[in-house]
C-alpha cells in the first residue's frame, strides 16, 4: 500500500509539472547547424512576398501563463519552377513585434521589453532591435510530404538568423498555388530561443526552478507571394 501511495504521489506531481509547464503549441522543429542554402534554376519564376498579407504568429510561455502576438515581414521572395519552391528568403521586421493578448500600458511594456527599448539594462534581454532590426530565413531545401495529419504538403528547411546567430530549422508547411500567386502556411512549431543567445529567465541556461520563461517559442508563419 505504501508503494502504491508513493507511486500515485509521484504521478500526481509529474502530471502537475507538465500542466504548469504550459509549453507553446506545436512540435519542436528540427534544428541544426546552419547549412548551404538553395539555388534556383535560371528559368525559375520569381514571386515577391506581399508583406501586407504575410505574418508570423508567436507564443511565449511561463509556468502560470502565456503571451502571444505577431511579427511582420519586411521583404522577401520565392523562386518557383513547375509548381515547386526551389529557393527563397524573407526578412523579418523585428521592430514590428506586437503583443496581441494585452492592452494599454501592459501591452506597451512587454513590447518595449521584447524590443529592448524599455531600459538600457534590459536592451539585450530579448531581441535588441536597435542593434538587430531584422532577422531572416533563407531556404536550404523543400521536400514533398504525403499523409501529414495537419495537411502540410512540404517540409521546408532553411537557415534562421536572429541577433547575428544562424541555425537551420525544418518545419512542415502547406503550400498552395493559383492564378493569384502562392501561399505557404506552416503548422505550429517551436524553436529553442537559447540557441540564438536569448537566455533571459531561461530555466536551462540559469538553472531556474520556479520563476522562469520557457525556452520554447511557438511560431506559425504565413507567406503570401505574387
CATH code, 181: 2.40.128.110
Average pLDDT over every residue of 202-226:
85
Q: Residue 212 pLDDT > 90, yes or no?
A: no
Q: Given this model, what pLDDT does residue 19 score?
A: 36
Measure the CA–CA gap between 181 and 90, rounded to whole angstroms. Answer: 16
Judged by average pLDDT, the poorest of 54-68, 145-159, 199-213 is 199-213
Average pLDDT over every residue of 168-197:
95
Kindly state whether residue 89 falls inside one of the protein's structural domains.
yes
Q: Given this model, what pLDDT does residue 103 score?
A: 96
In the chain, how many domains are there?
Answer: 1
- Please give the residue range of the domain that contains residue 190: 24-225
Kindly state whether residue 125 falls inside one of the protein's structural domains.
yes
Kindly state whether residue 171 falls inside one of the protein's structural domains.
yes
Kindly state whether residue 6 falls inside one of the protein's structural domains.
no
What does the DSSP assignment read for the chain?
A: -HHHHHHHHHHHHHHHHHHHH-PPSSEEPEEEE--PPP---TTPEEEEB-GGG-EEEEEEEETTEEEEEEEEEEEEEEEEETTEEEEEEEEEEEEEEEESS--HHHHHHHHHHHHT-S-GGGTTTTT-TTT--EEEEEEEEEEE--S-TT---EEEEEEEEETTEEEEEEEEEEEEEETTEEEEEEPPEEEEGGGGT--TT-TTTS--SSS---SEEEEEEEEEE-
Structure confidence by residue, pLDDT tens digits, 82-127: 989 999 999 999 999 999 999 999 999 999 999 999 999 999 999 9
pLDDT > 70: percent of the chain:
88
- Lookup: cell for 183: 501561399
Average pLDDT over every residue of 33-41:
97
Structure confidence by residue, pLDDT tens digits, 38-90: 999 999 999 999 999 999 999 999 888 899 999 999 999 999 999 899 999 99
Kindly state whether residue 18 falls inside one of the protein's structural domains.
no
Average pLDDT over every residue of 154-164:
98
Kindly state whether residue 11 falls inside one of the protein's structural domains.
no
Q: Answer whether 60's CB lies under 8 Å from 68's CB.
A: yes
Kindly state whether residue 19 falls inside one of the protein's structural domains.
no
pTM of the model: 0.87
Kindly state whether residue 15 falls inside one of the protein's structural domains.
no
C-alpha closest to that of 217 among 108, 4, 195, 151: 195
Q: Given this model, what pLDDT does residue 210 score?
A: 57
Q: Residue 1 pLDDT > 50, yes or no?
A: no
Q: Given this model, what pLDDT does residue 17 score?
A: 36
Measure the CA–CA gap between 119 and 113, rounded to whole angstroms. Answer: 8
Question: Which residues have CB under 8 Å from 82's CB, separation 6+?
Answer: none
Amino acid at each position: 500500500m505504501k508503494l502504491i501511495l508513493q507511486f500515485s504521489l509521484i504521478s500526481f506531481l509529474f502530471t502537475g509539472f507538465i500542466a504548469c509547464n504550459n509549453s507553446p503549441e506545436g512540435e519542436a522543429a528540427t534544428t541544426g547547424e546552419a547549412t548551404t542554402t538553395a539555388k534556383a534554376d535560371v528559368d525559375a519564376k520569381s514571386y515577391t512576398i506581399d508583406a501586407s498579407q504575410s505574418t508570423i504568429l508567436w507564443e511565449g510561455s511561463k509556468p502560470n501563463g502565456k503571451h502571444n502576438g505577431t511579427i511582420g515581414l519586411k521583404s522577401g521572395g520565392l523562386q518557383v519552377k513547375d509548381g515547386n519552391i526551389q529557393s527563397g528568403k524573407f526578412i523579418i521586421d523585428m521592430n514590428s513585434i506586437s503583443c496581441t493578448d494585452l492592452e494599454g500600458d501592459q501591452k506597451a511594456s512587454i513590447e518595449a521589453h521584447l524590443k529592448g527599448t524599455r531600459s538600457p539594462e534590459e536592451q539585450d534581454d530579448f531581441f535588441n532591435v536597435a542593434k538587430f532590426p531584422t532577422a531572416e530565413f533563407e531556404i536550404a531545401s523543400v521536400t514533398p510530404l504525403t499523409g501529414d495529419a495537419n495537411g502540410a504538403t512540404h517540409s521546408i528547411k532553411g537557415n534562421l538568423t536572429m541577433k547575428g546567430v544562424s541555425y537551420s530549422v525544418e518545419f512542415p508547411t502547406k503550400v498552395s498555388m493559383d492564378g493569384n500567386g502562392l501561399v505557404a502556411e506552416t503548422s505550429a512549431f517551436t524553436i529553442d530561443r537559447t540557441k540564438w543567445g536569448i537566455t533571459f529567465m531561461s530555466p536551462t541556461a540559469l538553472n531556474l526552478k520556479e520563476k522562469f520563461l520557457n525556452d520554447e517559442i511557438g511560431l506559425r508563419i504565413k507567406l503570401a507571394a505574387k
